Amino acid sequence: MNGAPGGHVIVRGRAIERTFAAVAASTLGVAPGDVSVKIADERGVLRVDIRSRCARSAESVVEIAGRTREAVLTEGALLTGSQIGTVRVRITDLIEPKGRKLS
């Protein structure tokens, strides 16, 4: 009626979660399938909860988790075009880079 072009593009929640999982996996040094991501609404922006194992490296786990958080906040937001409010990263296991658990 107002001459606006029809149709709309919607990025589904599942796609956003998989994108964030891939971004987090690259920083954590694990496969994307090892990363569990849940998104929720936080007053109009996204709250991202990440649970994952982490591959051992020269950095501390806290540093890796911090980098993961930053990567999701920047790259994740860039890739999905979304605004992210909070990112929580929870490391559940520490593994060897090949994938074997340390303990």
Three-state DSSP state, 30: coil
The region of 6-14, 27-35, 65-73, 94-102 touching another protein under the rule CB under 8 A is: 6-14
Q: How far is CA 58 from CA 16, 34, 81, 101, in A?
A: 30, 21, 32, 17
CB 11 within 8 Å of CB 80: yes
Closest approach, Cβ 30 to another protein, in A, equals 25
Q: Which of 23, 37, 46, 71 binds another protein (CB under 8 A)?
A: 46
Q: Apex CA 40: angle with CA 63 and CA 11, to 5°?
A: 100
Closest approach, Cβ 38 to another protein, in A, equals 10
Q: Which of 57, 83, 86, 92 binds another protein (CB under 8 A)?
A: 83
Answer yes or no whether residue 39 interacts with another protein by CB under 8 A: yes
